[in-house]
A and B are shown apart, each in its own frame.
Chain A
Amino acid sequence: MFRKIAIVTGLGLALAGAAEAQTPRKGGTIRMTAPYGSSFTSLDIHTTQRAQDEIYAKALHRSLYTWDSAEGKPVPELAKEVTVSGGGLVYTFKLRDDAYFHNGRKMTADDIIWSYNRIMDGTKAYPGARFVRVIEGAAAVEKGQAKEISGLKKIDDFTLEMKLTEKVDPGFYFFTALTSIYPADEGAKESFIQHPIGLGPFKFVEHVPGSRIVLERWEKFYKPGKPYADKVIVSIMGEAAARDVAFRNKEIDTSVLGPAQYVAYQADPNLKGTIVEVAEVFTRYMGMNPAFKPFSDKRVRQAINYAIDTDLIISKLVKGKAYRATSWLPLTSPAYDKAMKPYAYDPAKAKQLLTEAGYPQGFEFEWTTSQNESWGLPIVSAVIPMLDKVGIKAKVKQVETAVLAEVVRTGDYQAFIYSQQSGPDPLAALKCFHSSTPQPACNYMNFKNADFDKILDEAGQADDAAKRTQLLQKANALLYEEAPVWFFNYNKAVMAVQPWLHGIQQNPTELTHQNTEELWVDETSPAK
């Protein structure tokens, strides 16, 4: 069971509790915001893996699975029943026979097969290929050696068999919008990118590039009585200050808050109750390159963890909008070990470790960073004097976020500060540290440890869930000990939600990604 520590603070808790007890109201408009840039990337959701795009895609499309925030795990969405056979490698899905695309056609197994074959088209490089590749024969399609994925078999219109290459939970692979199911006939047309058709609770009405997407209720949505709202408008609002004005002016229903706004909203009695928080599955850290001699020594890496007063930085600079990281797996991970304690702030211990490692006078390194306010230059600037106290000098190299992403993939750094997805699947998250994972994939510190590999391989083969969790916790503890990074924090996602909007799900994979069919507005909404 996925642990959930999502919190609704203050008055919000009382209000939310009272509101959820009400009967959901039909009608009205939900006015969401997309805060991560000035545009949506594409209306072809198979082509884009930006969090920004999944906000609208959650209303428009459906995948084989969906993320259930209450359960804290992916659950079947387009299948009524799933049976597992073949030693955990064969999944048989009894599909819904009441799921209609927005053009009125009923979804069948052919649409799922068509969609996954499309994603594996090697000439198009769809990002969802990394998920679909887990199906047997998908890689052959990607390489152009086959036309269709051999591991997908249509038993009948509403029964689909899927054979996997490894023993994993397909829910973690097929719940994001990257693997959305398209209508086979329409999805192939050029016009699809201008007027997308999906299976979601809302159908496409209008896209004003750089401004908004408008969707309206799909009457033939398969969940009885849902969606509640008539319309969803997702406005693109990249500027936090502008969102703040619009939220206070009641023009929008949701607004993602940064650290400064988080403090301001907490201090404002009128806004405090609007705050919704969740520990997202992102770990912030300083990665250390083992090819840089001082960082090849575990004691040096541990010394850095002891030398930094992480709690102070989280409270003063990040304004409490983060949870202290103990090791790699975040609080909301099913394999998070709450008995683990983070590295204590202990400069004397850091000095001792540096001396033992042969660096009594410390050393100098270059620290590559972006300008990000939560895990970039401001944090680096605060850490530098702390490291200086134990003799370690850090030289800042500032780059754009796009450049930083390239730097970490190529290993062209001595140290860098970053935010990386560390869930929801703990096995996939820890695989980033497996020696078989190439550096550009997600093993950015080029971590290699035979003991770690062994534990993780055992976890991957474990049939018993408890045994698997135990092994994953062991691997996570080993990472703590090896300290390939300075464990900084787990992101606390914070969103202000107007009191008239109900049904918000505390989604740790990304708080802005809401199953819109669950949302409803009461009669106090200006857009009722």
Chain B
Amino acid sequence: MSQKSFETRARELASAFAAKDYERCSHLLPPLKVVLSQLNILVPLLSSDLGLLAVARDILEIGALTAIFLRDDLLFSRYIAQLSPFYAMKDKIHPPSSNEKKLIALRLLLLLSKNDIAEFHTELETLEDEADKDVYIRYPVMLERWLMEGSYDKVWKATTQRSEVPAEEFAIFADVSIANCGGTQNRWY
């Protein structure tokens, strides 16, 4: 496949995502990933074309976000795994990703909702300094802290009130975490 049709397809995907047509995105994505692997940019190497890597990263990010909207945890985890080498060499890829923090925060939230606290903290440790500053990452971090100390009223507030949620993707996890703390609360009363 020629590079041009690849770019038009990428644009098509971006517009479908912007129009919130996630079903269509999920159909567009698999063939695009095949193209990415043909162009040898599905896994970033120092030798690959840095300009194309940014495009590849954006495609994968759209994939990850689509997976969230379609509520497919496994697919989301796979996309995150594919994205992590891109983020590892982020100082080489331009322009920098605007979605990186959001996706990491979403991954943290996913781990939290699955009650995988060990993995949650492992992930958190890799961020260190950014944890308290970034608005997206702050959200799962605070949720975890409240859950651990038992301030369920704050968790309830943070997940149910739309104004407290930093982005619409985060709201999707709200019902999961409510179910979570509801489940734990029911056991005492």
Q: Do A and B bind each other?
A: no
Interface residues of chain B, those whose CB is within 8 Å of chain A, are none
Chain A residues at the B interface, C-beta cutoff of 8 Å? none
